[in-house]
Structure 1
Amino acid sequence: MLNLLSLENFKSIKDEDFELANLTLFSGFNGMGKSSALQSLLLLRQSFDKHILPSIGLSLSGEFVNLGNGKDLLYAYAENERIKIETCWDDTQLILNFDYDENSDMQPLNSSSIVDKDAFKESLFVANFQYLSAERISPKSVYDVSEYAVNQRRTLGAKGEYTAHFLSQHGDENIVISDMLHVNSATKTLIDNLNAWMSEITPGTKVITRLIPEINQASLHYQFASASELTNKFRPENTGFGLTYVLPVVTSLLSAKPGDLLLIENPESHLHPSGQSVIAQMMAIASQNGVQILVETHSDHILNGVRGAVKNNKISQDNVIVYFLSRDINSEEHEVDVEKIEIDSDGRIDRWPNGFFDEWDKSLNTLLEGK
């Protein structure tokens, strides 16, 4: 498991250490660096995939993220023109220092870096890695297919664009983590459990996927259960964004295995609050069973769903870390302040910094104020 991420002179982060747990949530105001923590790991992965790590440097443009050039990466008030990304696992460590090249999308690796080649056998760099960006697939009837992504790397694509293909190929496989089996699923297969979990988000949902080899596409449709029968098939375009947007998230959690690493941005997008709570519960169960999940979220329902999972013993409090990123507007530097938020065994938060999922209370106080 990835235990530590340390960043120096990385975008708006001057110098911060992030202890990482099985389930780590990054929250905070827009533009405060939530994405930066995940982006640093994505840069390492795409640079390794391009074969420029661990010997040449850091690629700022690629499959997972495009950050521009060196001037877009270096902390604006850096005292030295060097960027550091340090990652630590149980037995391995990478301390990567990169020289600054202002106008290049590749930052050269500095010779002072400490590289343990065994680190590149960890989940961040191998097949049991999945990243789902905030910009996921939009509803449509057919999607691209990829033999390499789906069957060699077992990935859904950064936008979840291969989810329909993945389900058509692997939907009949049994789920590895028994605690992820839904009580209403008749079998242990991925597709049956997917439908059961999706039905908690929208009642009676049935996902139908099919590989269409003659056009090299995969189709996606939905049906919904009524009292006595299933509806006709609906195109995703006629069911709204929520179901299709969350489908890769649910699929990634159900198909995950112990030792996998999942990076997920905004799992709550386009979801009803009750659906967001379901996703939080699923993430907690998967994390408790050895899947490491790093999440960027704006949702108090995700946070409270995780808190409820701790209280209900779905996940140990020791396996959850929450970070709140903010900035002192009176500071002369655009520097991120990072606060680690603790959750106790009853799901209670140890403190509530200003801006930390407190908008509901502020709005309620406004409504209760006298005229």
Structure 2
Amino acid sequence: MLSYLTLKNFKCFEEQSFALGNITLVAGANGAGKSTLIQALMLLRQSDLDRRTLLSEKVQLRGSLVDLRSADAIRYFESEDTDITISIEDDTINDALNVTIIDAVKNEDTCKTEVSDNLSEFEEKCSLFSKDLVYLAPDRVSPSEVHGSNLFTDQTDSRIGDKYGKMAASRLYRALSEDEKVQIPEFNKAGDMRVTSNVSAWMSYIMDFEQTVKLTEQDKEHIKMTYSVNANGVEAEVSPYNMPFGNSSVFPIVVALMTAPKDSLIVIENPEAHIHPKAQTKMGELLSIAAENGVQIIIETHSDHLLNGIRIAVKKQQIDENNVEVHFVYADQQNPLLHHTERMQIHDDGSMENWPVGFFDEWEDSLRILTMEE
């Protein structure tokens, strides 16, 4: 499992380390640098898997996982050092992989690297470079009835397709065809261990109405997807176009989780996108259950409801508080080009103390204004 990420002269961070837990939540204002953590990880993966480059020689800054434009665009603005260093630590290897991007001053989409001599060990053992990794961007696939059946279209694709999750339906159809079972017993919400049953069960739980995902082969290259919805005891077949838009955002996340092997890594930006606060809280619960039982989760979020779902999971002992890492990223008040992170702690009762200004405090600020006497 990844245990630490350290960035030096990378984007808005002069030098910053992030402890990574079973589940890591990164929060902060727009432009605070939350996505920078994920971009650094995906840059390493992209450069390693993209056929155009070898991570041992170069980083590939423009690709299907992340587009950072050019080397000069990712170097910390005020640094006199022209090199950038990204380091990751993995507790299964008990070592750090150090990748130094050399002389990052040119407007080019590749840049030379110097890499520590343990790269091959990380490629073999680290979940960041595994075929089981899933990365889901915030703008996930839109509703569609017809999905391609080819899981892999790019060498950096995950087991549910690209970063938009466009092959999630195809991956679930394969699980249906093979009568695949979930590998994590704690995912069993359907009363049986089948992946398909539990995808529908968790979708129903999160979205707060009963629904069953229906998949059929339309032809050799396409899968048709519909939903069976129970409305007051009456079953109705409904097109994805007529389902809540949030369904299409939640679906690839749930498929990624239900098909996840232990010791795999799932990285999600804005898992709360397009769903109700109640659903966001339930999403936090599901992610916590996954994290406590062998799937490492890294999320970037604006949702206090998602955070509360994780806090509730801690209180309900669905996840140990020591397995949760929360980072609040913010800009320096004296130098807005320099950003920092504050490591937050969740206690075993789900409580948190010493909330910094800007850390999910808008509700309290708004309530204070609304209750203020004129």
TM-score, reference length from structure 2: 0.93
Query: How far apart are the structure 1 equivalents of 2:5 and 2:307?
Result: 22
SS in 2 for 1:109: strand
Query: How far apart are the structure 2 equivalents of 1:315 and 1:149?
Result: 36
SS in 2 for 1:225: strand
| Paired letter, 1:3 | S
Aligned to 1:203: 209
Aligned to 2:272: 268
Contact 1:323-1:340 within 8 A present in 2 as well: yes
Spell out, residue by residue over 1:99-138, the C-alpha distance to the aligned partner (whole angstroms, 9 max, x if none).
Answer: 1142111111137x45442011111112121101101001
Query: How far apart are the structure 2 equivalents of 1:160 and 1:178?
Result: 24
Spell out, residue by residue over 1:60-90, the C-alpha distance to the aligned partner (whole angstroms, 9 max, x if none).
Answer: 1112111101121111111200010001112
Query: How far apart are the structure 2 equivalents of 1:202 and 1:248?
Result: 17
Deviation at 1:153, TM superposition (A): 5.5
Matched, 1:244 2:248: yes
Aligned pair partner of 1:181 in 165, 180, 188: 188
Contact 1:129-1:155 within 8 A present in 2 as well: no
Contact 1:139-1:240 within 8 A present in 2 as well: no
Aligned to 2:226: 221
Query: RMSD value over aligned CA atoms?
Result: 1.7
Deviation at 1:328, TM superposition (A): 2.6
| Paired letter, 1:87 | I
Contact 1:44-1:53 within 8 A present in 2 as well: no
SS in 2 for 1:119: helix
Matched, 1:106 2:110: yes
| Paired letter, 2:182 | I
| Paired letter, 2:13 | I
Query: How far apart are the structure 2 equivalents of 1:53 and 1:295?
Result: 27
What pairs with 1:161-180 in structure 2 (closer than 5 Å)?
161-171=166-176, 172-180=179-187
Spell out, residue by residue over 1:174-210, the C-alpha distance to the aligned partner (whole angstroms, 9 max, x if none).
Answer: 111001111xx14211111111111111311111122
Contact 1:261-1:292 within 8 A present in 2 as well: yes
| Paired letter, 2:9 | N
| Paired letter, 1:53 | L
Aligned pair partner of 1:355 in 355, 358, 362: 358
Query: How far apart are the structure 2 equivalents of 1:218 and 1:102?
Result: 45
Report the more deviating stretch, 19-28 or 46-55.
Answer: 46-55
Query: How far apart are the structure 2 equivalents of 1:212 and 1:39?
Result: 37
Q: What is the number of residues matched between the two proteins?
A: 364
Q: 1:46 to 1:211 in 2, by over 3 A?
A: farther
Aligned to 1:255: 259
Spell out, residue by residue over 1:235-289, the C-alpha distance to the aligned partner (whole angstroms, 9 max, x if none).
Answer: 2121231011110011111221210000000000000111111111111011001
Aligned to 1:326: 330
Aligned to 1:119: 122
Structure 1 residue ranges, 4+ long, deviating more than 4 angstroms after superposition: none
| Paired letter, 1:280 | G
Aligned to 2:66: 65
Matched, 1:154 2:152: no
SS in 1 for 2:279: helix
SS in 2 for 1:248: helix
Query: How far apart are the structure 1 equivalents of 2:350 and 2:297?
Result: 19
Tell me, which stretches of 5 or more residues in structure 2 are unaligned? Answer: none
| Paired letter, 2:232 | A
Query: How far apart are the structure 2 equivalents of 1:139 and 1:337?
Result: 38
Deviation at 1:147, TM superposition (A): 3.9
Aligned to 1:82: 83
SS in 1 for 2:306: helix
Query: How far apart are the structure 2 equivalents of 1:145 and 1:61?
Result: 27
Contact 2:151-2:160 within 8 A present in 1 as well: no
SS in 2 for 1:346: coil
TM-score, reference length from structure 1: 0.94
Query: How far apart are the structure 1 equivalents of 2:215 and 2:161?
Result: 14
Contact 2:151-2:171 within 8 A present in 1 as well: no
Query: How far apart are the structure 2 equivalents of 1:68 and 1:28?
Result: 24
Contact 2:160-2:166 within 8 A present in 1 as well: no
Query: How far apart are the structure 2 equivalents of 1:370 and 1:303?
Result: 31
Contact 1:262-1:294 within 8 A present in 2 as well: yes
Spell out, residue by residue over 1:2-34, the C-alpha distance to the aligned partner (whole angstroms, 9 max, x if none).
Answer: 011000111111100111100000000011110
Query: How far apart are the structure 1 equivalents of 2:217 and 2:88?
Result: 39
Tell me, which stretches of 5 or more residues in structure 1 are unaligned? Answer: none
